[in-house]
Structure 1
Amino acid sequence: MTVSRCRQVACLIVGAALLLFPASGNTSGSASDHTARAHSLSNGKSAQVKTPSVYKRKASRRPLPPEGILLKDLRTGEVLFEQNADLSMAPASLTKIMSAIVILEEGDLNDQVTVSRQAAAAHRVKLYLKPGQVLPLRGLLEAMLIRSANDACLAAVEHVGGDEESFVAKMNEKAVAIGLARTHFQNACGFDMPDHFSTAEDLAVLTEYAMAHDTFAAIVKEPAVIVRTADQRRKYVARTTNRLLGTMDGVVGVKTGYTRGAGRCLITVVTRDDRELLLVLLNARQRWWRAHSLLEYGFRAPAPETVSASR
């Protein structure tokens, strides 16, 4: 091989090595950084090359999950606003509205309930009841609706249904009876489960039914309640989770909810003058701001004509 030929081969090898293994400097950059250096070395100049836009990746953003919204005038039956109202979604502790209905219709609020180990072990929001404590069923109902206490909920459910599974069967029977076509319950307190879902439309129907119970309506408008054990040795203060109570004119209840799968949920009823509005929010972003905005919008809107008996 001639000297000239050897030089050509050597140049090719060095050039390839420079492309694959850039010279001294920061070697921890991205692939586009390496491209800029290779170009600089191949033309013998130190000019910086702008990375083509095709290599600039923006962080991917997942689409926000849908919100379920329904705003209804209860005096006329008119729906003032809705969004994904018929979409099946996780209801979180709004589930306890149905649990309360079954307790009211199947149980005796004067009963004394012994807290089981399973009920006392319920997690997340709770009163921290102890196994063996005895409390009135009414007090447990108040705590599960006002504070959304899961230990109170499970203790009441076990007392009325015998066990949670049997109680949930009653919940689903009641859902069918009152026409909740897109609702199915898999537990009594509202935990995320694959076959546990409802819609804003169904929850509006459920809430109207529940608010017709005087006891239910009286409980959900209370900002707090004290629940005492039967021996009076221990008392529990259950404060509402509904921030609209006492901060927004005319609010008369009813229930909040949250799980990771369901997001922030709220059902509330507001009465002003001759208007009564029901709002359901599922997986709401900025729950309290959204509620204020939609309710004020509803009260500013002209009152629809009353639904006639023939409709």
Structure 2
Amino acid sequence: MRKSLILFICIAAVICSPGLWNAAAGIGALSSASAVLYEPDSKRVLHGKGADSPRPMASTTKIMTALLAIELSPLDRVITVPEQAVRVEGSSLGLSGGDRITMLDLVTGMLLESGNDAANAVAFAVAGSIEAFVRLMNRRAKEIGMKNTFFATPSGLDEDGHRSTAYDMALLAAEAIKNPVIAKICASKSALIVFGDPPRKVRVTNHNRLLQLYPHAVGMKTGFTKKSGRCLVSAAEKDGVRLIAVTLKAGDDWNDHIKMYEYGFSLVELVAFPAQDLPDLDVAGGRVNKVALKMDAPPSKVLLKEEKSKLRAELSLPKFLIAPVKSGET
């Protein structure tokens, strides 16, 4: 008598190649002071230029603000906008003190229209003050691994010490885009939100022109201040591969990102390991003496195309199992 046992089988890609930090033939010169092209599956940098140099990052800051809003507050929560939140310069959603708006619509307006008033309203709603929210931002940055980042504002307006690096912002983007709400908003060209007294519908438009210029772009966030210059954090997906690109202080960020993506997608591919035929495994102390093994799913990995020839699949199993063993156990 046999039972089916589902096991996670560890198949490792044995690769010994360093990250690629230097410009390669074909990518060309970039206009940005800092840039990085990051592959989050393998956590590999495919291209970097001043990637660890701290710089102001303008409204790309709002990626962190949105992430915390979604992680720490129900999206259907109705927020009453405090007067302090709307006293802010720069891009605005047009909120007034006393307006009522859901957290989801605040996040949508913040990511698409880049409303600084919306970012402040999120901070007050989540933490009670700008200062308390900034502490949450910096704590979350440490959790993500952003070692050269300091947040001083939820909006990204110029303020002393407010800074990050292209590499750190790529880590933030990789974390944030895993959230389906953020991914959906950032991929939208526009959206309808509701706020005001009385409530009114307002259409907000995505400032990220890369969605129109590059067919594989799937979103993220633009930014600009006089101090930071043009900043852009973006993501693109092609043939199962997701890449993250970041530029800070760029003269031509759209083309910088397209150049990096074309380069990156020419380098890497998603490699699926073949399904393995698994042996039956002995069971000690049970009502049956063998169980059939079933692979949960063949694993896959994003690799440099030149690495495919260096792959080695290893199957590691115990000599036997000790009862009780349940069908479908992993």
* Shorter-chain TM-score tier: 0.7 to 0.9
Q: Return the alpha-carbon distance in structure 2 between the equivalents of residues 209 and 75 of structure 1.
A: 11
The match for 1:119 is 85
Q: Which residue of 2 aligns with 1:169?
A: 135
Query: How many equivalent residue pairs?
Result: 246
Change (3 A) 1:66 1:228: closer
What RMSD over aligned residues (CA atoms) do the two structures have, in Å? 2.2
Maintained 8 Å contact 2:65/2:122: no
- Asked if 1:237 is matched to 2:195, the reply is no
Write 1 or 2 for the structure with the bigger share of helix.
Answer: 1
Change beyond 3 A, Cα 1:290–1:104: same
2:182 aligned with 1:205? no
Q: Secondary structure at the match of 1:226?
A: strand
Identify, as 1 or 2, the structure richer in strand.
2
Assess if the C-alpha contact under 8 Å between 1:127 and 1:236 holds in 2. no
How has the CA–CA distance of structure 1 residues 154 and 309 changed in structure 2, closer, same or farther, with 3 Å as cutoff? farther
Are residues 1:288 and 2:288 paired? no
The SS at the match of 1:122 is coil
Q: CA deviation at 1:286?
A: 1.1
1:265 to 209, 219, 231: 231
Rg larger for:
1
> Is 1:70 paired with 2:36?
yes
State percent identity of aligned pairs.
33
Q: Would the aligned equivalents of 1:89 and 1:262 in 2 still touch at CA under 8 Å?
A: yes
Shift of 1:302: 5.2
1:300 paired residue number: 266
Unaligned runs of 5+ in 2: 1-30, 270-303, 315-330
Instruction: Report the alpha carbon displacement of residue 292 of structure 1 after superposing the two structures with TM.
Output: 1.7
Equivalent pair of 1:128/1:151 in contact (CA under 8 Å) = yes
Question: What is the match of residue 5 of structure 2?
Answer: none
TM-score by length of 2: 0.70
Letter in 2 for 1:78: R
Identify the residue that residue 58 of structure 2 maps to in structure 1. Answer: 92
Q: Which runs of 5+ in 1 are unaligned?
A: 1-64
Whether the 8 Å CA contact 1:70–1:82 is kept in 2: the answer is yes
Is 1:222 matched with 2:172? no
Equivalent position of 1:159 in the other structure: 125
| 3-state SS of 1:220 partner | helix
Higher RCO (C-alpha 8 Å, min separation 6): 2
Give the CA deviation at 1:229. 2.3
TM-score of the superposition, structure 1-length normalised?
0.74
SS in structure 2 at match of 1:89: coil
Alignment partner of 1:99: what SS?
A: helix
Match of 2:21 in 1: none
- CA separation in 2, counterparts of 1:121 and 1:93? 17
